[in-house]
């Protein structure tokens, strides 16, 4: 009993960074700037107002066929408890914090189930809890944390003997899939391990339990997705279609190469966050990633974390051929990556300790040097994340209200001056809908530009923004200095694009505040029979 209370006390201490950040971030000032979070929240709202599962903020309110339904179902509870936006963001922050707590608790249970001793398990759990991405992604109303919970629960349950446990594990894996479609890899990885252990009946039970979840969601997508979605709606409704526009036989090699570079850098940052840019930082981070992977392999060869390791391997394989990686896509691997980092650190420590007693003096000197480097990396792996989580990120959250003030001011102007039927081209389209009730969408991303490193194509596309708006039915453009203009855009690109928008004769500035500018798309001019200029174009309806 005493040990249990000690464990509870330690767990509460481990929760301090997440709890403090959730409290400071309770107004969620950065909500919507990730874009996916606001789309998920709007999809959740649609489930509560009788309109079905739709993207209410996009023109035509198409069915939501990109993001599976389970996480929006969870978020829909927020809308039922408090339907008033943005007041309900405080409640949303609480719901996000609950999932972070659940993920940490399941990580602890998973660690102990793998046979790792309490001291090591607490160290690994603390490294997860102070990791800045745990806080940022966990409090950003993104589906990755709930997905991680179901993934961990799947691995915990499938380790238990019996067909019933395999069926339950399959159902949990199905819930993971209905949270993020990336969970489909579990349909192959878990039965593969079970079959390798000669547990064919349990493998079949797991497969049979998970398959109906996949069939259900794929059926919804098949029958609800637009038959031939245009490039504008592709981003919102069609994962696979967007991928086919990006990856092809002509660029698959460069896609894999760049994605490998991104994945290694992202893995290194998840465990050893980089807060200062200096020459060689990427090499150091990717070297740390390779060491972490070696630690995971070392664990798997001992029979520890095998299910999780195969899941991470399969997921990484998907990331190599998918669109550019990011921390949130690698986040579900964090508990195993941390375990791999600790394993490799222990291995390195044993090498250094052995070398310190070597008869050769040069070997001892080398061991001291290696030990010093290892100590610095270990310090960076814990102290820097702790500083980020406890001080830097909470301070950033407090200052995030300025971004919201700008979009609220712009939305208030839109609500008062823009017709309800008007459509707005902006990367803040979900926020404009939530604040002003006007529909819109973002300029479609072109990841091919990223892989081809084609900055000129990006700038040229924005120089043709007015014809694009006229053909796609957009009446206004809301531009921001925080504009998300695909992965290829750098600071120079953004400055040039914003300058081009300001100089474009087809755009008239009608509102400006705090780095945000609203432009009205001017009607196209045609020559009538008497030589007079008259307006034409889809925007003339307003």
CA contacts within 13 A on the Cβ side of 109: 16
> Which of 331, 315, 319 is CA-nearest to residue 138?
331
pLDDT, residue 515, reads 80
Cβ neighbours, 10 Å, residue 493: 19
- The SS3 of residue 459 is helix
Quote the radius of gyration of the chain (alpha carbons, Å). Answer: 25
pTM for the full model? 0.91
pLDDT, residue 541, reads 42
Tokens of 260: 């490998």
d(CA 275, CA 393): 12
- Burial zone of 431 (CB within 10 Å; 0-12 exposed, 13-18 middle, 19+ buried): buried
pLDDT, residue 486, reads 54
pLDDT, residue 275, reads 63
Tokens of 285: 């981070």
d(CA 339, CA 401): 36
d(CA 111, CA 103): 12
Tokens of 231: 């490039």
E strand or H helix at 534: strand 533-536
Cis peptide before 86 (omega within 30 of 0): yes
Go through 220-255 and write b for each residue having 16 or more CB atoms within 10 A of its CB, e for each that does not.
bbeeebbeebeebbbbbbbbebbeebbbeeeeeeeb
> Distances in Å between the alpha carbon of 168 and those of 154, 160, 175, 189, 209?
8, 10, 11, 16, 8
pLDDT, residue 425, reads 92
> Nearest 5°: CA angle at 326, between 251 and 116?
120
Where in the chain are the domains? Answer: 247-396, 401-541
pLDDT, residue 276, reads 61
The dotted CATH code for 401-541 is: 3.40.50
pLDDT, residue 254, reads 92
Question: Which runs of consecutive H residues, i.e. helices, occur in 302-360?
Answer: 306-321, 327-330, 334-355
Cβ neighbours, 10 Å, residue 529: 5
pLDDT, residue 29, reads 86
Tokens of 527: 């020559």
pLDDT, residue 70, reads 97
- Stretches in the chain below the pLDDT threshold 50: 526-533, 537-542
Tens digit of each residue's pLDDT (9 = 90 or more) over 520-537: 999 876 444 444 445 554
pLDDT, residue 155, reads 97
Tokens of 511: 């509102």
Q: Which residue has the tokens 């973002």?
A: 442
Cβ neighbours, 10 Å, residue 385: 27
Give the 3-state DSSP-derived string for 62-108, with helices as H, strands as E and coil as C: CECCCCCCHHHHHHHHHHHHCCCCCCCHHHHHHHHHHHHHHHHHHHH
């Amino acid at each position: 009993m005493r040990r249990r209370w000690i464990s509870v006390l330690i767990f509460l201490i481990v929760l301090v960074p997440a709890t403090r950040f959730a409290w400071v971030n309770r107004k969620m000032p950065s909500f919507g700037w990730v874009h996916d979070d606001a789309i998920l929240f709007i999809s959740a709202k649609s489930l509560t107002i009788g309109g079905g599962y739709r993207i209410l903020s996009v023109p035509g309110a198409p069915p939501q066929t990109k993001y599976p339904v389970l996480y929006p179902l969870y978020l829909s509870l927020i809308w039922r408890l408090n339907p008033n936006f943005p007041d309900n963001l405080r409640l949303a922050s609480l719901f996000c914090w609950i999932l972070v707590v659940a993920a940490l608790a399941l990580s602890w249970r998973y660690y102990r189930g793998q046979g790792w001793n309490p001291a090591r398990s607490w160290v690994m759990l603390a490294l997860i809890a102070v990791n800045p991405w745990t806080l940022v992604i966990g409090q950003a109303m993104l589906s990755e944390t709930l997905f991680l919970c179901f993934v961990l629960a799947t691995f915990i349950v499938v380790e238990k003997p019996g067909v019933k446990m395999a069926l339950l594990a399959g159902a949990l894996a199905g819930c993971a899939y209905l949270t993020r479609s990336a969970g489909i890899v579990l349909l192959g990885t878990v039965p593969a391990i079970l079959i390798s252990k000669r547990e064919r009946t349990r493998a079949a039970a797991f497969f049979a339990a998970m398959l109906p979840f996949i069939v259900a969601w794929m059926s919804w997508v098949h029958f609800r997705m637009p038959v031939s979605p245009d490039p504008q709606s592709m981003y919102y409704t069609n994962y696979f279609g967007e991928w086919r526009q990006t990856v092809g036989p002509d660029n698959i090699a460069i896609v894999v190469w760049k994605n490998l570079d991104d994945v290694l850098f992202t893995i290194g940052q998840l465990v050893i966050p980089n807060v200062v840019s200096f020459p060689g930082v990427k090499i150091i981070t990717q070297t740390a990633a390779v060491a972490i992977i070696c630690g995971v392999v070392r664990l798997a060869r001992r029979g520890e974390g095998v299910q999780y390791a195969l899941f991470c391997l399969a997921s990484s394989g998907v990331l190599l051929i998918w669109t550019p990686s990011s921390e949130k896509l690698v986040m579900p691997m964090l508990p195993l990556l941390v375990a791999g980092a600790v394993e490799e650190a222990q291995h390195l420590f044993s090498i250094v300790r052995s070398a310190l007693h070597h008869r050769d003096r040069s070997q001892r000197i080398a061991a001291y040097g290696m030990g010093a480097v290892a100590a610095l990396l270990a310090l960076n792996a814990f102290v820097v994340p702790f500083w980020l989580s406890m001080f830097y990120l909470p301070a950033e959250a407090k200052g995030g209200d300025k971004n919201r003030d700008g979009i609220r001011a712009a939305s208030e102007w839109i609500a008062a001056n823009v017709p309800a039927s008007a459509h707005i081209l902006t990367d803040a389209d979900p926020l404009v809908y939530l604040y002003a009730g006007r529909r819109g969408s973002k300029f479609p991303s072109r990841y091919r530009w990223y892989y081809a490193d084609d900055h000129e194509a990006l700038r040229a596309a924005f120089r043709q923004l007015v014809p694009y708006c006229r053909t796609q039915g957009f009446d206004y453009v809301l531009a921001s200095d925080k504009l998300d203009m695909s992965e290829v855009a750098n600071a120079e690109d953004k400055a040039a694009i914003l300058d081009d928008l300001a100089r474009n004769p087809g755009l008239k500035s009608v509102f400006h505040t705090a780095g945000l500018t609203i432009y009205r798309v001017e009607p196209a001019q045609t020559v009538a029979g008497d030589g007079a200029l008259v307006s034409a174009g889809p925007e003339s309806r307003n």
